[in-house]
A and B are shown apart, each in its own frame.
Chain A
Amino acid sequence: MLSREEVLHIAYLARLELTEEEIEEYRKQLSAILDYFERLKEVDTEGIPPTASVLPPRTVLREDEPQQGLSREELLANAPDVEDGQFRVPPVLDW
């Protein structure tokens, strides 16, 4: 069973604010799901390579030619806060 601290740690890593109810709910649900996952231990994977992609490993290259991209206006159009053609955020560092 996951502890409250473990749930909070995962939520911190994922940058998710959780309510008290959510912390308790996820603690129970994630524990049940992880318990179920335990059955993977039954499978012998000694010497089996992992699959990250089903495709053959290869390098896909294209000609390095300049192309027209999206305009600044189009890229900023969906941002919640914009100033002088840039994304506006609170200070990232304290000094």
Chain B
Amino acid sequence: MKPLWQWNLTDIVQALHRGEVSSEEVTRAFLERIQALEPRIHAFLHLEPEAALHQAREADRRRAKTQDPDTLPPLLGVPMAVKDVLTVRGMPCTCGSRILEGFVPPYNATTVQRLLDAGVIILGKTNTDEFAMGSSTENSAYGPTRNPWDLSRVPGGSSGGSAAAVAARMVPAALGTDTGGSVRQPAAFCGVTGFKPTYGRVSRYGLVAYGSSLDTVGTLTQTVADAALLFPYLAGFDPRDATTMDVPVPEVVLSQEPDLRGLRVGVPREYFVEGVHPQVEAAVHAAIRHLESLGAEVQEISLPHTPYAVPVYYIIAPSEASANLARYDGIRYGPRIQGETMWDIFFKTRGRLFGPEVKRRIMLGTYALSAGYYDAYYAKAQKVRTLFRRDFERAFREVDLIAAPVAPSTAFPLGSKTQDPLAMYLEDIFTLPANLAGIPGLAFPVGFDQDGLPIGMQLMAPPFQESRLFAVGHAYQSTTDWHTRVPPLHP
């Protein structure tokens, strides 16, 4: 039998239901794994091992006592981790920033509350680029997370802590957030499955705001089936988030038969261009051929505005951020750098406690929204955003799904892009369009490069068609084994 820490979420849930393992055994297995590997990986910003074990024993007692197991919370006693930009009542929430050091939120994010209601045990909070601004987790004020496949490389970002924790099998699943690729790109770099829902599908209440028209809450798991298992618990209308849509959440039933006959898969030519690493391109093409071998019809499509994704996103997201981050003023939460006047407090607290990338984006957004530049930057970017939506609307009249690389390259060495912010932004080109259009995406491993680093492919679907992503991703994983590979880490 595989050691418990290698089990995926679906296996753990089933084994707990059948009484084959206890929550305490499962929780302890992951906590031991964390203890052994955390000094090398630094996936976490906060851990509560004692509280977690206490909850696990509580869950086991509850399960032992019940007459009717069907009345138990369905995920009772399952350990998970949460990215540190989502609030968990009573656990510090820093967003990877000094400006929120010591902040302990008095309420749960809706996604967190729903997981807790389903019985989940939260082991801790995972590392992130400061306020989710970054593609490598190097922008965390508390030090970078390392890629479990190669400790000299980044795990991707901004949900790098969650992705690395799942890849290193320190937790079976974690919440992440995706504003411009922050779930899918670290999933690709770490060889795990990253799911980003449709904008409006999952509540953002309790998610510390970055780019409000783009932010989504997603999952990092070992498998597509695990992502599909969690989805119904996270999705649905929330009276506390007016951007959630009151549309039914379909029950996800994954077929045992990997039959993709009748499925039309579009391959956008703009995602296979100069600058994409040949091994990434080859692995993604092979994965697309694999979908074809399962019966899918593959055709080339065009998403002509793709080359403009970086300027559009890096105007809109920083503009929204510059407004959202105005709330950090040293008055209501977080530390204060004292000054003579209130203005002094604002300038000093914000200037000294925000990190370099956050200040850069606040300045970029402030500039784009300032008098004289609004039309040339912000208004222009919003119009081109409309063209991104139209690109996808046109494509989805011809195909059911789009398949493409997640990122142009595999995980890069720590420090290799930190001096050149534009080079870092350009890494995001293939994940940004799904956020600009608000559509769902699913990233999963489809191979490894010659250095043994994972390569990811992403599927994109029309709004609210997450089930389609799960069905196709699951068909792929039930006929391949890339997702079962574990990084060679020796405790």
Q: How far is the CA of A74 from the CA of B333 in the complex (A)?
A: 11
Which one of A43, A52, A70, A81 contacts B308 once the chains associate, using CB atoms below 8 Å? A43
* Pairwise interchain contact B336-A10, C-beta atoms closer than 8 A: no
Binds A, one of B138-146, B185-193, B341-349: B341-349
Check if A40 sits within 8 Å of B380, measured CB to CB: yes
Can you list, as one digit per residue, whether each of B310-344 has a CB less than 8 Å from chain A (1) or not (0)?
11101100000010001001111111100111111
Q: Chain B interface secondary structure, helix, strand, loop or mixed?
A: helix
Please count how many residues in chain B sit with their CB below 8 Å of the partner chain's CB atoms: 72
A34 to B367, CA, bound (A): 10
> For the complex, is B199 an interface residue (Cβ under 8 Å from A)?
yes
Q: Chain B residues with Cβ under 8 A from A32's Cβ?
A: 422
Task: State whether the Cβ of B351 lies closer than 8 Å to any Cβ in chain A.
Answer: yes
B159: interface (CB < 8 Å): no
Residue on B with the closest CB to A19? B351
Instruction: Contact check, B387 vs A77: say whether CB atoms are below 8 A apart.
Output: no
Report the separation of the CA atoms of residues A46 and B239 in the bound assembly, to the nearest whole angstrom. Answer: 38
Of B39-47, B100-108, B112-120, the one touching chain A: B100-108
Residues of A within 8 A of B385 (CB): 50-51
- Bits for A30-63, please: 1 = Cβ < 8 Å to B, else 0: 1011101101110101001111111100001010
CB nearest to B354 among chain A residues: A16
Please determine whether B363 and A10 come into contact, CB atoms closer than 8 angstroms. yes
Contact A26 B312 (CB under 8 A): no
CB of B346 to closest CB in A, whole Å: 4
Check B458 for interface membership: any CB of A closer than 8 A: no
In residues 363-403 of chain B, which contact A (Cβ within 8 Å)?
363-364, 366-367, 370, 377, 379-387, 389
A80 to B102, CA, bound (A): 10
Cα distance A79–B331 when bound, in Å?
Answer: 6
29 A-B contacts, Cβ less than 8 Å apart?
A: A11-B363, A13-B370, A14-B322, A14-B363, A16-B363, A17-B347, A22-B359, A26-B359, A32-B422, A33-B422, A37-B311, A40-B308, A40-B311, A40-B380, A40-B384, A45-B383, A48-B383, A48-B386, A50-B379, A51-B389, A53-B213, A54-B213, A54-B389, A55-B199, A75-B106, A78-B102, A80-B330, A89-B331, A90-B339
